[in-house]
C-alpha cells in the first residue's frame, strides 16, 4: 500500500517525479545467477606515510569542491540539485559540484601528478570506485576522516561495508553509492533489429543484427567481469579468475572489436551513444537507464530504454568518498558525508539515482513515501538479490598492473 507523500511541497514534488519516472525491473532480476560478494574494497598493502595532509581551513572557508560521476545526483527540471542545495542552506557551506569522473583510469590520469606531490588536485572530495580508492590509500595519498564529525555515518553505515583489512572502520573511504553492471538497451531499436523484446545474455550483444551498434564500458571490472561470468568464471575466486581466464576474456572482447561488432568502449559517456542512437545496446550501470529515461521519455513512451541482468550474472561495485592529502576543507567534507548519511536524505537521493544506498534506515525512510519503490531491488537489494550478483575479486599489486595494462592496450587498439 502506498503511503501519503511528504507534506513539504518541494520534497513532495521531487518524490512524485521520481515515482513517475521509476523503472520497475523486478522481472529482469528473476533469472540472474551467481553468488554475492561483500561490498568491500580490494585489499592492499599498508599506506605510505611519507605525505602529510594539508592544513584544514574549513573553519574560515565554508566551501568545498566535489568531483563525481554523471547522473549521480538528484536533479529537478531546472537543473538544480535539491538535496545538495538543502545541504548548502543548512550548513552554510558552498559546494562546487563538478562532473569530472567519466572513468576511473582517465580521472586518475588527470590528477595523479598532483596526488604524487601531495598537492591540491582541485577537489576536496571525489567519489571513485572502491578499487581505485584502495590504490590511492595504498600509495598514501588519502587523508583519514574523523568519525567524531560524522555521527550519522557511524550510526547508519551498512555493516557489510565495515571490517575490511585495510580500512576496517571506513576512515579512508566512505561509501557513496553502489550498484550493478548489466546490459542497457534501446527497447524499440533492439526489437526492430533482432525481433526480440530484450537481450537476455552477453551472447545477445554479439548477434549479427547488432553489428557496429554495441557499446562497452571502459571500466575493466565491469565489462571484463560480465564477459568472465558469461564464460562460467567465478570472478570472486582467485582459483577461477586466473590470469589465463582474464586474458581469455580479453581475447573474446578483442574478437568482437576486430569484427566490427563494437561501436566503441567508453566511460559514462556511453549514455550519449544510447540516447543519440549510435548504439542499440551496451554494458551499462544500473541507475543510468532511469536517468536517460527521465530525460528522453515522452508521454507516449516514458521508458524507451531498458536494463537487464545477463542470465550469467551481474557485477557489483561501490563508489566511495575520498579526500586527497592536498585538500584543505576536509572538515567541510565530513559535514557533507554526515548529511548524506541521514536516512531521509539518503532515501531521497537513492530514489532519484537508482543506485544502492549504503545507509541503514534509508529503506524505511523511502517506505514512508512509497512502499513499492522501497522494494526496488536495484536500490534496496535484499540478500537474495545480492546472492545473485558478484563483485570482481581483489587483485594483487602484480595482477593489477598486468590486468590493467592488458586492458588498456586492448582499448588503445580498439
Q: Flag whether pLDDT at 184 surpasses 80.
A: yes
pLDDT of 95-122, one tens digit each?
Answer: 999 999 999 999 999 999 999 999 999 9
Cα dist from 27 to 31, 35, 264, 385, whole Å: 8, 19, 29, 12
| Confidence (pLDDT) at 25 | 24
Q: Flag whether pLDDT at 41 surpasses 90.
A: no
The pairing of strands 214-217 and 281-285 is parallel
Helix (H, G, I), strand (E, B) or coil at 300: coil
Cα 9 versus chain centre, distance: 30
Give residue for cell 586492448: 410
Mean pLDDT to the nearest integer, 169-179: 96
| Nearest residue to 157 via CA among 2, 414, 398, 340 | 340
Q: Which three cell numbers stand for residue 44?
A: 592492499
| Confidence (pLDDT) at 30 | 27
pLDDT of 335-357, one tens digit each?
Answer: 999 999 999 999 999 999 989 99
Name the DSSP letter for residue 23: P
- Backbone φ/ψ region at 198: left (φ over 0), alpha (ψ -120 to 50), beta: beta
| Confidence (pLDDT) at 49 | 55
| Confidence (pLDDT) at 291 | 80
Alpha helices in 144-287 (DSSP H): 151-156, 187-194, 220-230, 243-258, 270-276
Name the DSSP letter for residue 186: E
| Nearest residue to 356 via CA among 222, 177, 184, 128 | 177
Longest dimension (CA), the chain: 62
For the chain, list the domains and their CATH numbers.
9-21+39-178+319-380 (3.40.190.10), 26-37+179-316+396-413 (3.40.190.10)
pLDDT of 251-294, one tens digit each?
Answer: 999 999 999 999 999 988 899 999 999 999 999 998 888 888 88
More confident residue, 97 or 397: 97
Alpha carbons 386 and 285: distance in angstroms, whole number: 16
Alpha carbons 176 and 5: distance in angstroms, whole number: 26
What residues are paired with 356 via a beta bridge?
178
Q: Flag whether pLDDT at 2 surpasses 80.
A: no
Share of the chain above pLDDT 90, in %: 75
pTM of the model: 0.81
| Confidence (pLDDT) at 397 | 87
- Identify how many contiguous H helices and E strands the chain contains and give both numbers: 17, 10
What would you report as the CA-atom Rg of the chain, rounded to the nearest whole angstrom? 21
Give residue for cell 527521465: 294
Alpha carbons 229 and 237: distance in angstroms, whole number: 12
Q: Flag whether pLDDT at 38 surpasses 50.
A: no
Mean pLDDT across the chain: 88
Q: Flag whether pLDDT at 86 surpasses 60.
A: yes
Q: Flag whether pLDDT at 376 surpasses 70.
A: yes
Alpha carbons 91 and 62: distance in angstroms, whole number: 9
| Nearest residue to 167 via CA among 334, 321, 51, 41 | 41
Q: How many CB atoms sit inside 10 A of residue 375's CB? A: 15
Q: Beta strands of 206-333 (E only): which ranges?
A: 214-217, 262-266, 281-285, 305-308, 314-321
| Contact (Cβ atoms closer than 8 angstroms) between residue 358 and residue 177 | yes
Q: What is the DSSP string of 54-86?
A: PPP-TTT--EEEEEE-TT-S---TTS--HHHHH
Q: Flag whether pLDDT at 189 surpasses 70.
A: yes
Q: Flag whether pLDDT at 32 surpasses 90.
A: no
| Confidence (pLDDT) at 370 | 82
Question: At a CB cut-off of 8 Å and minimum separation 6, what does 342 contact?
Answer: 152, 156, 359
pLDDT confidence of 165, banded at 50, 70, 90? confident
Alpha carbons 175 and 287: distance in angstroms, whole number: 16
Q: Which three cell numbers stand for residue 35?
A: 553468488
What residues are paired with 320 via a beta bridge?
175
pLDDT of 200-251, one tens digit each?
Answer: 999 999 999 999 999 999 999 999 999 999 999 999 999 999 999 999 999 9
Burial string for 117-145 (b: 16+ CB within 10 Å, else e) reads: ebebbbbbbbbbbbbbbbbbbbbbbbbeb
Amino acid at each position: 500500500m502506498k503511503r501519503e507523500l511528504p507534506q513539504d511541497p518541494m520534497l513532495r514534488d521531487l518524490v512524485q517525479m521520481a515515482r513517475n519516472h521509476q523503472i520497475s525491473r523486478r522481472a529482469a532480476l528473476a533469472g540472474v545467477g551467481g553468488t554475492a560478494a561483500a561490498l568491500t574494497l580490494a585489499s592492499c598493502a599498508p599506506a605510505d606515510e611519507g605525505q602529510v595532509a594539508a592544513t584544514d581551513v574549513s573553519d574560515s572557508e565554508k566551501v568545498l569542491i566535489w568531483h563525481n560521476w554523471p547522473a549521480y545526483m538528484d536533479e529537478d527540471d531546472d537543473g538544480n540539485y535539491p538535496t545538495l542545495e538543502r545541504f548548502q542552506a543548512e550548513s552554510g557551506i558552498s559546494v562546487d559540484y563538478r562532473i569530472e569522473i567519466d572513468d576511473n583510469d582517465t580521472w586518475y590520469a588527470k590528477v595523479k601528478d598532483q596526488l604524487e606531490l601531495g598537492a591540491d588536485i582541485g577537489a576536496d572530495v571525489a567519489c571513485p570506485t572502491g578499487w581505485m580508492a584502495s590504490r590511492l590509500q595504498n600509495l598514501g595519498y588519502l587523508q583519514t576522516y574523523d568519525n567524531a564529525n560524522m555521527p550519522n555515518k557511524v550510526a547508519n553505515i551498512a555493516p557489510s561495508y565495515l571490517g575490511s583489512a585495510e580500512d576496517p572502520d571506513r576512515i579512508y573511504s566512505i561509501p557513496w553509492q553502489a550498484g550493478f553492471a548489466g546490459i542497457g538497451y534501446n527497447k524499440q531499436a533492439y526489437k526492430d533489429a533482432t525481433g526480440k523484446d530484450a537481450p537476455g545474455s552477453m551472447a545477445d550483444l554479439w548477434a549479427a543484427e547488432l553489428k557496429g551498434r554495441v557499446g562497452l564500458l571502459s571500466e575493466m571490472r565491469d565489462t571484463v567481469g560480465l564477459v568472465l561470468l558469461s564464460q562460467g568464471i567465478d570472478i570472486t575466486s582467485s582459483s577461477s579468475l586466473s590470469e589465463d581466464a582474464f586474458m581469455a576474456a580479453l581475447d573474446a572482447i578483442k574478437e568482437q572489436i576486430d569484427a566490427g561488432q563494437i561501436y566503441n568502449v567508453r566511460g559514462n559517456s556511453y549514455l550519449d551513444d544510447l540516447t543519440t542512437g549510435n548504439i542499440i545496446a551496451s554494458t551499462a550501470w544500473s541507475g543510468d537507464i532511469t536517468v536517460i529515461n527521465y530525460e528522453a521519455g515522452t508521454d507516449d513512451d516514458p521508458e524507451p530504454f531498458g536494463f537487464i541482468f545477463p542470465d550469467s550474472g551481474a557485477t557489483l561495485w561501490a563508489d566511495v568518498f575520498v579526500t586527497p592529502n592536498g585538500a584543505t576543507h576536509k572538515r567541510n567534507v565530513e559535514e557533507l558525508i554526515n548529511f548524506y548519511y541521514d536516512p531521509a536524505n539518503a532515501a531521497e537521493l537513492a530514489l532519484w539515482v537508482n543506485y544502492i544506498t549504503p545507509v541503514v534506515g534509508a529503506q524505511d525512510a523511502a517506505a514512508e513515501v512509497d512502499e513499492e519503490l522501497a522494494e526496488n531491488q536495484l536500490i534496496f537489494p535484499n540478500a537474495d538479490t545480492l546472492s545473485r550478483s558478484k563483485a570482481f575479486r581483489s587483485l594483487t599489486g602484480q595482477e593489477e598492473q598486468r590486468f590493467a595494462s592488458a586492458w588498456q592496450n586492448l582499448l588503445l587498439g580498439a
